[in-house]
């Protein structure tokens, strides 16, 4: 039923910040510059080319309420996840009513569709107020669902996001992870890697968008994620300064950095714009040859997994 | 005498709101460009003693730019402010509405300096250049500089100008050249670095100051197709990275990058300096030298060996 590439809708009322998210994450726009972007009037899509190719489609928010038409029926047959963006700095009751309309439609036509609610623009709120807002929104949405008696037909999750820090990348990472069918295999691979090489934390990053496709099963600490994602920037920027040759099939990029409390950051380029980034202690960095050998095994595994994925998709697409 | 020779007085002047304290905070106090929005107005003169390269102290006088304070600088306090100045850094806001008044203030400063410290070096920073459209920046900058050159000619000072912005790497370029002017044995650093780069068969070797990551010196071979702004960009990249390391409650110590086309090594050289060595592209390297696998290790060894020499150079500077 669904085409080869998963599709994600980004919806929300106008001025809720949908285009800003798209431009900051996929086009590397500076967050401050998004103050000046114009309102999006047509459906705009952007392709994330990574381990799983995902199409993100942004629907314009001008429609006051969601009105079902044959066109939307067709659109909704092709969607695999839905992101609904709510402006947390504005009055959100209106947005919640709109969301309710969409959820009712989803429950009827596409039960089980994954709906992600981004409580957006939380950068202007204090920490306490963020949690209050989140609780309030969750409460209201769930109450409405129970009233409409559809609470079992939709799967909802909530995220606090802002384009001025890393939270938007983290939220989107979780969304794309849900759309990657090979996620268990990837996680298992990283778990094995961490166990056998003495690595504290490993992320599989998509370098261009800086979202992570998978991580090992230890809990994600946002600070670790930020440092790893900044580390990618450093490696890529430095390499760009001195490498005029362009992308070349040679040795993959490899970058290590030592901090003075003994933490070692390690980056290794993988297939299709992916990179593995680790955080480890200096003790395990002494066995760097072992880490490198294990990393090569992961790279091999990733290639095989991707080849298998492609093979299984080609007959489906034709 | 030794005390005065390693203490250097820098005056940071400019009309109010032109961005003087923001610059200082970014370069010397690890602020990010966003953080500077929180800075309030400076009152009177804010002194800061910044240690640079270990034993050199930069005595930075951040002078408030409000008219009320300005007036006292040129009347009652002139003797105190303008005596024994080594460097004047005058900041101009490109968006300023009273350019003639800005230039007038600059002229007043120069007049005092020609009386009290005729050997001072003058730098002008055309600041907030990010507010001008990219195509017009060059034009705005050169017309400003022409006006300022004419002003300064009367007092016999040659001036150096930079277009700067806190939102990109131009700030590092300007400050790097200001600070380099103050290092006495620059030539020794340069020649030793040249030698080092040659021995390591490096494409380029760069010396950075540790806390500010300003470029002190560099030795380059094959500069043909390299980015002319690379030094400032590196300062900027590493500075951002250092901030991100502080999130882990730690400090940056070293970095090794083995890219598809080059190898980059950044390491501590002395207690006050970092060195960055760039080895050329792989094929070239294979042909010209006998080094291939493990070239990073050899450079690391070289750095270790060079440590003593550079430490001695630093000590020499103190005397």
* Confidence band, pLDDT 50/70/90 cuts, at residue A247: low
* Confidence band, pLDDT 50/70/90 cuts, at residue A313: low
Flag whether pLDDT at B144 surpasses 70: yes
Mean pLDDT of A86-113: 83
pLDDT of residue B235: 87
Q: What percent of chain A has pLDDT over 70?
A: 91
Helix (H) or strand (E) holding B21: helix B20-29
Q: What percent of chain B has pLDDT over 90?
A: 0
Q: What percent of chain A has pLDDT over 90?
A: 2
A253/B259 Cβ within 8 A: yes
pLDDT in tens, B260-269: 777 888 988 8
A254/B251 Cβ within 8 A: no
B81 vs B290 pLDDT, higher one: B81
Mean pLDDT of B133-159: 86
Contact A220, A167 (CB under 8 A): no
pLDDT in tens, A91-101: 888 888 888 88
Spatial separation of the C-alpha atoms in residues A293 and B155, rounded to whole Å: 68
CA distance B37 to chain A (A): 13
On whether the pTM is more than 0.90, the answer is no
Q: Quote helix, strand, coil % in chain A, to nearest 5.
A: 45, 20, 30
Residue of A162, A147, A165, A155 whose CA lies nearest to A223: A165
A263 chain-B contacts, CB cut-off 8 A: 248, 250
pLDDT in tens, B223-258: 666 777 888 888 888 888 888 888 888 888 888 888
Flag whether pLDDT at B53 surpasses 80: no
Interface residues of A toward B, Cβ cutoff 8 Å, are 223-224, 226-227, 230-231, 233-235, 237-239, 241-245, 247-248, 250-261, 263
Contact A158, A138 (CB under 8 A): yes
What chain A holds in terms of domains, given with CATH numbers, is: 7-179 (3.40.50.300), 182-313 (3.30.450.190)
* Confidence band, pLDDT 50/70/90 cuts, at residue B292: very low
In this structure, of A1-5, A54-58, A268-272, B154-158, the range with the lowest mean pLDDT score is A1-5
* Confidence band, pLDDT 50/70/90 cuts, at residue A39: confident
Nearest-Cα residue of chain B relative to residue A249: B260
A259 chain-B contacts, CB cut-off 8 A: 245, 248, 250-253
Mean pLDDT of B160-186: 86
B254 chain-A contacts, CB cut-off 8 A: 257-258
Spatial separation of the C-alpha atoms in residues B60 and B45, rounded to whole Å: 10
What chain B holds in terms of domains, given with CATH numbers, is: 6-181 (3.40.50.300), 186-315 (3.30.450.190)
Q: Closest to A251 (Cβ–Cβ): which among B233, B245, B260?
A: B260
* Confidence band, pLDDT 50/70/90 cuts, at residue B293: low
The residues that bridge with A275 in the sheet, in sequence order, are: A205, A269
B233/A237 Cβ within 8 A: yes
B234 chain-A contacts, CB cut-off 8 A: 238, 241
The residues that bridge with A96 in the sheet, in sequence order, are: none
Q: Quote helix, strand, coil % in chain B, to nearest 5.
A: 45, 25, 30
Spatial separation of the C-alpha atoms in residues A57 and A3, rounded to whole Å: 14
* Confidence band, pLDDT 50/70/90 cuts, at residue A1: very low
Q: Closest to B247 (Cβ–Cβ): which among A226, A235, A255?
A: A226
A257 chain-B contacts, CB cut-off 8 A: 252-256
Best residue in A259, A261, A285, A295 for a mutation probing chain B (most B CBs within 10 Å): A259
pLDDT of residue A63: 62
Dihedral sign, CA of B195, B196, B197, B198? positive
Q: Closest to B247 (Cβ–Cβ): which among A223, A233, A241?
A: A223
* Confidence band, pLDDT 50/70/90 cuts, at residue A60: confident
B225 chain-A contacts, CB cut-off 8 A: 244
CA distance A224 to chain B (A): 8
* Confidence band, pLDDT 50/70/90 cuts, at residue B3: very low
Flag whether pLDDT at B275 surpasses 60: yes
Residue of A108, A110, A68, A102 whose CA lies nearest to A84: A102
Best residue in A242, A260, A263 for a mutation probing chain B (most B CBs within 10 Å): A242
> How many DSSP H helices and E strands does chain B contain?
11, 11
Task: Return the beta strands (E) in A88-163 as ranges.
Answer: 114-120, 155-160
In this structure, of A117-121, A241-245, B180-184, B310-314, the range with the lowest mean pLDDT score is A241-245
- φ/ψ of A256, rounded to 5, equals -125, 150
Q: Closest to B248 (Cβ–Cβ): which among A223, A235, A248?
A: A223
CB neighbours (10 Å) of residue A304? 10
Spatial separation of the C-alpha atoms in residues B6 and B52, rounded to whole Å: 10
CB neighbours (10 Å) of residue A43? 11
Mean pLDDT of A3-16: 80
B256/A257 Cβ within 8 A: yes
B248/A259 Cβ within 8 A: yes
pLDDT of residue B36: 85
B261/A244 Cβ within 8 A: yes
Flag whether pLDDT at B217 surpasses 80: yes
Query: Given phi > 0 = left and psi -120 to 50 = alpha, else beta, which region is A149?
Result: left
Nearest-Cα residue of chain B relative to residue A239: B259
pLDDT in tens, A183-232: 888 888 888 888 888 888 889 998 888 888 888 888 888 888 888 988 99
Q: Is A221 helix (H, G, I), strand (E, B) or coil?
A: coil
Residue with tokens 């150096």: B160
A245/B248 Cβ within 8 A: no
């Amino acid at each position: 039923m669904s085409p080869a590439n998963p599709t994600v809708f980004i919806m929300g009322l106008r001025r809720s910040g949908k285009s800003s998210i798209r431009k900051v994450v996929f086009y590397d726009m500076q967050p401050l510059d998004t103050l000046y972007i114009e309102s999006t009037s047509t459906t705009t899509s952007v392709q994330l080319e990574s381990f799983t190719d995902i199409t993100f489609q942004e629907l314009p928010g001008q429609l006051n309420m969601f009105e079902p038409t044959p066109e939307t029926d067709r659109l909704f047959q092709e969607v695999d996840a839905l992101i609904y963006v709510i402006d947390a700095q504005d009055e959100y009751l209106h947005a919640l009513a709109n969301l309710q309309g969409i959820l009712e439609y989803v429950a009827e036509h596409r039960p089980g569709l994954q709906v992600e609610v981004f409580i957006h623009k939380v950068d202007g709120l204090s920490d306490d107020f963020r949690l209050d807002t989140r609780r309030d929104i969750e409460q209201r949405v769930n109450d409405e669902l129970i009233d409409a008696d559809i609470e079992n037909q939709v799967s909802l999750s909530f995220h606090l996001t802002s384009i001025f820090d890393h939270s938007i990348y983290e939220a989107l990472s979780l969304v794309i992870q849900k759309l990657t069918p090979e996620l268990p295999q990837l996680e298992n691979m990283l778990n094995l890697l961490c166990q056998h090489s003495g690595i504290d934390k490993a992320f599989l990053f998509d370098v261009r968008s800086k979202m992570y496709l998978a991580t090992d099963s230890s809990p994600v600490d946002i600070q670790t994620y930020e440092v790893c994602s900044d580390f990618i920037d450093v490696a890529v920027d430095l390499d760009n300064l001195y490498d005029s040759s362009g992308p070349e099939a040679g040795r993959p990029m490899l970058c290590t950095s030592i901090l003075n409390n003994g933490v070692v950051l390690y980056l290794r380029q993988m297939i299709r714009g992916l990179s593995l980034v680790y955080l480890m202690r200096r003790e395990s960095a002494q066995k760097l040859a072992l880490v490198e050998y294990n990393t090569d095994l992961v790279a091999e595994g990733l290639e095989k997994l991707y080849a298998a994925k492609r093979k299984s998709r080609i007959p489906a697409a034709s | 005498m030794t005390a005065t020779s390693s203490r250097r007085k820098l005056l940071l002047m400019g009309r109010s709101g032109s961005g003087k304290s923001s610059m200082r905070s970014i370069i010397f106090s690890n602020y990010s460009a966003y953080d500077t929005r929180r800075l309030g107005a400076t009152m009177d003169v804010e002194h800061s003693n910044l240690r640079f390269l270990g034993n050199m102290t930069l005595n930075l006088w951040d002078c408030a730019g409000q008219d009320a304070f300005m007036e006292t600088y040129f009347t009652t306090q002139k003797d105190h402010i303008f005596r024994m100045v080594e460097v004047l850094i005058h900041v101009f806001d490109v968006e300023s509405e009273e350019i003639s008044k800005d230039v007038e203030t600059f002229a007043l400063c120069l007049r005092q300096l020609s009386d009290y410290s005729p050997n001072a070096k003058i730098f002008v920073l055309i600041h907030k250049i990010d507010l001008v459209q990219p195509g017009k920046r060059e034009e705005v900058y050169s017309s400003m500089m022409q006006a300022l050159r004419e002003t300064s000619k009367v007092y016999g000072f040659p001036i150096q100008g930079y277009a700067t912005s806190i939102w990109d790497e131009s700030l590092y370029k300007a400050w790097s050249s200001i600070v380099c002017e103050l290092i006495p044995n620059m030539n020794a650093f340069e020649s030793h670095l040249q030698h080092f780069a040659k021995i390591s068969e490096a494409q380029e070797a760069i010396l950075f100051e540790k806390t500010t990551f300003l470029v002190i010196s560099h030795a380059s071979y094959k500069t043909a197709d390299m980015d002319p702004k690379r030094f400032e960009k590196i300062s900027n990249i590493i500075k951002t990275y250092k901030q991100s390391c502080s999130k882990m409650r730690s400090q940056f110590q070293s970095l090794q990058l083995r890219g598809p086309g080059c190898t980059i090594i950044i390491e501590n050289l002395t207690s006050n300096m970092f060195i960055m060595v760039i080895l050329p592209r792989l094929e070239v390297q294979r042909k010209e030298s006998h080094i291939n696998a493990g070239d990073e290790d050899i450079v690391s060894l070289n750095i270790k060996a060079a440590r003593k020499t550079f430490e001695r150079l630093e000590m020499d500077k103190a005397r």
